[in-house]
Chains A and B, each alone.
Chain A
């Protein structure tokens, strides 16, 4: 097998595998568009992402948009492999929505008015809420709250 042939096979394998990967894709702030509200994603504190079981990625600028996107039925909740949200305290960290703890607070002013921040643990959310009004939520409550 000559070198060029081998290179092609490697490339083919790379393409095949990259197509079905369910790894989170980093959000390209200032470039990527929210799949629900069409706004350019700018705020590093509230971005979210859905990866479907087929590996397609949808990005959102606010939790509200993600919930509405699921409700609209374009991608049903049982077709999603991963639903991720940016950790409010670490802009490079994606949290699984089922694991995260959320804090709803009117003063957060998220891009689409969801005003809900995600935290890694209950403790982190409670610590954040300590000196301001707010409500601690889990994912199921966020879904109801975002309607």
Chain B
């Protein structure tokens, strides 16, 4: 009987071992190096990396492993190497600090590079002073969450993107903080993905950059003080909801730059203190709804190449120019917005103004042609011309109007 129970116990332990074992790495363990642990690890093993600094060059993983840091281990790329390169199914990287990845003008060196992988999680990592921080290509079904990523601003244009996705689908990018990279989050050929609750700031170019990426959603993100705001280009079916775009200032800087976009929704976002809130070019069938445009240079710049855009229920407050356009052809609809510059009245008390509002001012048309004329903006003569234009419109597109402007701002 005793014999039996021992055999069963041994069998049990052995099977457990066979399914997945744990390996510890650190100065207090027999295994000192991460590379060594990865070499001996089998499929589905867990490697715990204890606190300390590891300098091991480029670590390459091609099996399903859980890589978990205990007491904040630091892996240093010594500004020469790509730190971690993974190509596998079902893996996890958690709680590790990566710093000083190398830079190369030919290859996109990254702190964590994932290639041709599925079903993985990268979470709670800290990435400092990298060229590319997280670089994921040709992958699907994965999550990148709770990472803190800080680039090095001295690198200027040599720096790569914070979270860079290329040819991926079904990705979730959640709760990350990204600063001082080229683009905070970069999507190229990425579909059916979600970007939620990230904080992207002080990046050289864009806080978020979409290229050729369709059917994606980004919600509740904050983009502050990025070189040029957020760019969404050459994509369709992109939803942008409840994001904050703030203090994106400069000659070529926008809250959102939209180019060649169709069938999307921009709702419940906040645009404050940007040079331009939204800039649109070659954009079709887009709904802009219930957003706040406050204290921007231009609230909304819509080029004549756009059509079927509906702008409804937004608040425009304290912008220098609410809307600007570069042509007289208007194929877009403005309705039920609140404009703080509206001077009409509401005799029938239905909450909507009785006369239409023309949000494009004369001088907005002039500056569109001659940007430098902005220096005359507050002059007396411009004010006079503005009044004359209101009485007898000649320069501004007559059809660009809000038939039913709201008398009171909506609470958004």
Contact = CB atoms under 8 A, between A and B. Distances in A.
Interface of A: 29-33, 37-40, 42-45, 109, 113
A124 B211 CA distance: 31
Contacts of B108: 109
B259 A30 contact: no
B165 interface: no
Given A38-B281, A42-B157, A44-B157, A30 B233 contact: no
A1 to B, nearest CB: 32
A40 B254 CA distance: 11
B182 interface: yes
B190 to A, nearest CB: 14
B231 A39 contact: yes
Contacts of B257: 38
A38 B259 contact: yes
Contacts of A42: 157, 182, 204-205
A30 B156 CA distance: 8
5 contacts: A30-B157, A31-B250, A31-B251, A33-B252, A38-B281
Contacts of B212: 113
9 cross-chain pairs, A with B, having the tightest CB-CB distances, nearest first: A33-B252, A29-B157, A40-B228, A42-B157, A40-B205, A30-B204, A42-B205, A30-B157, A42-B182
Contacts of B227: 30, 40
Nearest to B251: A33
B379 interface: no
Residues of B in contact with A, size category: 20 to 34
Interface string B366-410: 000000000000000000000000000000000000000000000
B259 to A, nearest CB: 6
Contacts of A31: 250-252
A82 B108 CA distance: 32
A37 B233 contact: yes
Contact of A29 (B156, B233, B250, B281): B156
B287 to A, nearest CB: 22
B105 interface: yes
Contacts of A45: 105
Given A31-B251, A40-B252, 4 more contacts: A30-B157, A30-B205, A33-B251, A42-B157
Nearest to A32: B252
A45 to B, nearest CB: 7
Nearest to A42: B157
A59 B300 CA distance: 25
Nearest to A44: B157
B154 to A, nearest CB: 13
Interface string B207-249: 0000110000000000000011001010000000000000000
Nearest to A41: B157
A57 to B, nearest CB: 15
Contacts of A33: 251-252
Contacts of A30: 156-157, 204-205, 227
Contacts of B252: 31-33, 38, 40
Contacts of A113: 211-212
Nearest to B183: A42
A47 to B, nearest CB: 10
B387 to A, nearest CB: 34
B230 to A, nearest CB: 12
Contacts of B205: 30, 39-40, 42
Contacts of B206: 40
Contacts of B228: 39-40
Contacts of B233: 37, 39
B201 to A, nearest CB: 16
A37 B205 CA distance: 14
A40 B252 CA distance: 7
Nearest to B189: A113
Contacts of B251: 31, 33
A115 to B, nearest CB: 12
Contacts of B279: 38
Q: Which of A32, A42, A113 has the most CB of B within 10 A?
A: A42
A109 B188 CA distance: 11
B182 to A, nearest CB: 6
Contacts of A29: 156-157
Interface string B245-289: 000001110000101000000000000000000010100000000
A109 B205 CA distance: 17
A37 B157 contact: no
Nearest to B254: A38
A45 B105 CA distance: 9
Contacts of B281: 38
